[in-house]
Structure 1
Amino acid sequence: MTSTRSPRIEIEYCTGCRWGLRAGWVAQELLVTFEAELGEVALVPGRQAGVFVVRLDGEAIFDRGRAGRFPELRELKQAIRDRVAPGRSLGHSERAVAVAGSTGEDRGGEEHGG
């Protein structure tokens, strides 16, 4: 008998696109950040082309198809925090939002060789 622990994060990713490593990295980052709050993090190989959906207890909190891009780790952490640990600070992940628009966005281009 299989049981799931709540809260449960599910990351569905496109296998044909080879997004398993990206999904695994996101899972690892969420486990490190929310080690005390999360019950389970699951990687779900998707059959639909281009799928990359992050769900919390069955509710989609990010869908690449709708957004037209991959999620920023910061926004995933904030969305999950708001649901599982509302009063908790995310430290540098949270401060990055306040900086965005000044030097934060410029640094993003440099990280990608731009």
Structure 2
Amino acid sequence: MSLLEKPRIVITYCTQCQWLLRAGWMAQELLSTFGTDLGEVTLVPGTGGVFTISCNDVLVWERKRDGGFPDAAKLKQLVRDVIDPDRDLGHADRKSHKTDPA
């Protein structure tokens, strides 16, 4: 797969809110999990409380719409669902798929 065909992640963060470290941490989490399966992870400075994460132009998280920020496991699941829905994320998947005791 060429670099042009690999998924592109864009994290837009508010500079006024000083969310650069949060955006960088999320980028690191995605790169640690997906590694060379990603074509790029881009951080884009913005203003006005913006915090969005898109994958291949699909909006996977928007702070105002989704109510805050995703935890690392949730973010990885959302990105996985766009780029490779059959991929097993190991512990990140098991944490959110608890069985119903009923």
- Mark yes or no: TM-score above 0.5: yes
Q: How does 1:102-113 map to 2 (within 5 A)?
A: none
Deviation of 1:70 after TM superposition, in Å, equals 0.8
Label 1:17 to 1:100 Cα distance change in 2 as closer, same or farther (>3 A).
farther
The code of the aligned residue for 1:39 comes to G
Instruction: Give the aligned length.
Output: 99
Q: Tell me the C-alpha RMSD between the 2 structures.
A: 2.3
Identity of aligned residues (%): 49
Q: Give the unaligned 5+ runs of structure 2.
A: none
Q: TM-score, normalised by structure 1?
A: 0.77
CA distance in 2, matches of 1:21, 1:4: 27
Residue 28 to residue 100, structure 1, CA distance change in 2 (3 Å): farther
TM-score, with length taken from structure 2: 0.86
Which letter does structure 1 place at the counterpart of 2:20? G
Map of 1:106 onto structure 2: none
Cα drift, residue 4 of structure 1: 6.3
Amino acid at match of 2:85: P
Q: Which residue of 1 aligns with 2:37?
A: 37
Structure 2 distance, partners of 1:85, 1:59, is 14
Q: Structure 1: which 5+ residue stretches go unaligned?
A: 102-114
Structure 1 residue 86: deviation in Å?
A: 2.0
